[in-house]
Amino acid sequence: MEHIEYEIKHAIGHMMETNYPRKKLWDMDSKIPDLIRGIRAGDDAVVIGKRVINMEGPYPLKLGSKTALIHTSCDIVAMGAKPLYAMDAIQARDEEEIKMAVDGLKKQSIGLNIPIVGGNTQTEKELKSCVSIVIFGELLHDKVIIDGGAQAGDVVVMLGHPVEGDVGDRVQRAKNKYDTFLKILESGVDVHACKDASRGGWLCNILEMLAKAKKGININAIPYPRATRYLGTYLVCMDENDLNDAMDIAINNRCPIIPFGKITEEKTLKIGNKEYIDEEKMNNIVKEFPYKY
């Protein structure tokens, strides 16, 4: 069990990385009249009216050429929106690296139907090669799916294939997850929260969801053995009565869905019979988080 305790410690440290910039920029939200989710929310993307915007990176150039557009669009869909178009910023050493990055981004763009409409490309020799992406999307409905909306009694599922392999595999797996999640929303399943299991892994991201919702969890299955690995899957909290409907949609779409826990009013983190985070510790985590809902 020592590795679980280590991964929880790692997860808490990862969660606190954005505290300083969020506190420093706290008052920026008040400058945007139509803002729904901004710096104070600390959610996966920013929501202004029906527009949903997300930026990710910088990624090492080789990795970004395989996954930057996929990873950035993941947060747009998680909030119940359709990605519309993207812009990129590429730093490369030479023309060969520019070609690698652009070719990879174009494959992602075509596969996900997210046009890249502009950006910036440069070759500053003293800088490391990297790429960043910003994506603009639009809510499909009025409801925004937030990452901190979990309710006591919700079942928690992991949805989607781990996003790995070459560009084609990653695009196919991401698109399958997007299509399945949006169909689940359109079917009327009562989804209260969603977050992608990104950097920090599924344990870190479920812990962040709990801290924001001020709730706890009883985990009764392990959705993936390495709790801190980037997966690119979704962590979804939904009404338990809707689980069968969600599973039917996932089965029809050949998309993995794994129920692995239940949200509790008691602010603890339990795995099986063992309590890894008690209520006092969870309350301290909540206090250290600057998020406001």
Domain that holds residue 92: 32-139
Q: pLDDT class for 63, splitting at 50, 70, 90?
A: very high
Q: What is the DSSP string of 163-186?
A: --SSHHHHHHHHHHHHHHHHHHHH
Residue 269: in which H helix or E strand, if any? strand 269-271
Q: How far apart are CA 292 and CA 70, in angstroms?
A: 28
Considering the domain architecture, whether residues 175 and 114 belong to the same structural domain is answered as no
Q: How far apart are CA 207 and CA 276, in angstroms?
A: 12
| Beta strand segments in 26-178, E | 35-37, 46-48, 51-60, 81-91, 116-122, 130-139, 155-159
What's the CATH code of the domain at 84? 3.30.1330.10
- How far from 81 is each of 39, 75, 134, 143, CA to CA, in Å? 19, 9, 15, 10
User: HSE (CB half, 13 Å, CA atoms) of 172?
Assistant: 7
Of 183, 233, 213, 207, the C-alpha closest to 80 is 183
- Please count the residues of the chain: 293
Considering the domain architecture, whether residues 181 and 210 belong to the same structural domain is answered as yes
Considering the domain architecture, whether residues 135 and 167 belong to the same structural domain is answered as no
State residue 100's pLDDT score.
96
Considering the domain architecture, whether residues 248 and 282 belong to the same structural domain is answered as yes
Residue 71 scores a pLDDT above 80: yes
Considering the domain architecture, whether residues 189 and 277 belong to the same structural domain is answered as yes
Is residue 148 one of the residues assigned to a domain? no
Residue 292 scores a pLDDT above 70: no
Average pLDDT over residues 224-234: 86
Q: pLDDT class for 234, splitting at 50, 70, 90?
A: very high
Last residue of a domain, one of 139, 163, 187: 139
Q: What is the pLDDT of residues 126-181, one digit of tens each?
A: 999 999 999 999 999 889 999 999 999 999 999 999 999 999 999 999 999 999 99
Is residue 175 one of the residues assigned to a domain? yes
Considering the domain architecture, whether residues 159 and 266 belong to the same structural domain is answered as yes
State residue 18's pLDDT score.
75
Residue 3 scores a pLDDT above 70: no
Considering the domain architecture, whether residues 55 and 127 belong to the same structural domain is answered as yes
Considering the domain architecture, whether residues 195 and 82 belong to the same structural domain is answered as no
Residue 31 scores a pLDDT above 60: yes
What's the CATH code of the domain at 272? 3.90.650.10
Considering the domain architecture, whether residues 135 and 204 belong to the same structural domain is answered as no
Considering the domain architecture, whether residues 121 and 182 belong to the same structural domain is answered as no
Please give the tally of structural domains in the chain.
2
Is residue 7 one of the residues assigned to a domain? no
Average pLDDT over residues 214-232: 89
Structure tokens at 261: 């826990």
